[in-house]
Amino acid sequence: MDLALCISLTPKDTSHLGDEDLAELDSPELEAAVVRALERLGTVRVWDTTTLSPQEIAAQRRPDLIFNLAEGIYGTGREAQAPALFEWLQWPYVGSDPVTLGITHDKWYTKCILDRAGIPTPRAEVIHRPLERPLGLVFPVIAKPVAEGAGKGIYDANVVDDDTALAAIVRSYLDRYRQPLLVEEFLPGREFTAAVIGNRGSFEVLPLVEIDFTEIPGSPRRVYGYDAKFTWHSTKHMLCPANVDDGLRRDLASLAIRTCEVLGIRDWARVDLRLDGAGKPYVLEVNPLPGIYPELDYISCFTKSAYAAGMTFEGLVERLVRTALDRYRAPWFLPHKVARGHEG
């Protein structure tokens, strides 16, 4: 099989970038691990979106399948950029289409769709300019940049208890991140993440991860943000399989699957959930392009779940490849348009 890995790698010269600028970019170590896994299935080419232009990628030989990890370069819809190119070229790839990737990268659009579908998600508002009025939300609330990943812009101090503190963080973050803010009612309960593999009608939820906030220093508000993911360099906070009773496990898995169905997730995604004070689960956000770092100096929640399900890293990569290939071959899969001679 002729395979391509599309990935956004950390540049060699990072002197012009801050720590948060690097959070969504992948390491050469991850690239090497994925390439080794893919080489078990065929030949592999690597396309790095931080060094190759769209024109240069489009000039490549059409592969049998693209393993897409590309985070994109710029803009709120950046995760949709590489898949949009593949759609234009009608090249098959692993993962969700540009519509789903564009919507889910925006936390507000995601919440609007989930709310319309009756899927519980915390009450929130999107803010485009400094606050001039109370929002009518119940404090405490948490403020987040609306279109960032990897915990960027999410810290313990983002949880505030009154309008004065909220107005201050809104002013600061609008200037710093140059994008709208999501202000969301903050849930006090346990937090989980669900790794999901599959497609419409056949999603599987892998063993749940619970975030153990007692293992995250300096987080009295229990926020799973940038510091927890990158600053502390520990994975002791990832409890997998999560210690939950069968009823809660079923509720969390059902909610994750419903979320993937509603948002049109393809092949894989991670769904983040949190409980309210009464123990009811809510969906916080959805990542259809989750990290899959193996246990190098860091492990991603998705990989942790796969290991708990009995997979190796190579087995996880192969599972995602097979899931995508099965989708392209399935009679239920209806791509918008397939050119003659370009069937996946």
**What is the DSSP track for 22-50?**
HTTSBPHHHHHHHHHHHHTTSEEEEEETT
Give the whole-number percent of the chain exceeding pLDDT 70.
92
Closest among 137, 75, 146 to 109, alpha carbons compared: 146
Average pLDDT, the chain: 91
Helices (H), ranges, the chain:
19-22, 28-39, 54-58, 81-89, 98-104, 107-116, 163-177, 226, 246-263, 301-308, 313-329
Domain residue ranges of the chain, discontinuous segments joined by +: 2-94, 121-185, 191-329
pLDDT digits (tens, 9 = 90+) for 36-57: 999 999 999 999 999 999 999 9
Q: Distance between CA atoms of 27 and 8, rounded to whole angstroms?
A: 9
For 121-185, CATH number out of 1.20.1050, 3.30.1490, 3.40.50, 2.40.40 equals: 3.30.1490
pLDDT value of position 224: 86
Residue range 87-108: average pLDDT?
96
Across-strand partners of 239?
210
pLDDT digits (tens, 9 = 90+) for 179-204: 999 999 999 999 999 999 999 999 99
pLDDT value of position 276: 97
pLDDT band per the 50, 70, 90 thresholds, residue 216: confident
pLDDT value of position 153: 74
Residue range 261-280: average pLDDT?
97
pLDDT value of position 112: 97
Residue 177, phi then psi, degrees to nearest 5: -100, -10
Does position 341 have pLDDT exceeding 70, yes or no? no
Q: Distance between CA atoms of 329 and 90, rounded to whole angstroms?
A: 15
Q: What is the gyration radius of the CA atoms in the chain, in angstroms?
A: 20
CATH number of 191-329: 3.30.470.20
Q: Look at the alpha carbons of 178, 179, 183, 184 in this order and tell me if their dihedral is positive or negative.
A: negative
Lowest mean pLDDT among 127-131, 190-194, 218-222, 249-253: 218-222
Q: Would you identify the CATH topology of the domain 2-94?
A: Rossmann fold (3.40.50)
Q: Distance between CA atoms of 273 and 248, rounded to whole angstroms?
A: 12
Query: Whose structure tokens read 């065929």?
Result: 42
Residue 199, phi then psi, degrees to nearest 5: -145, 175
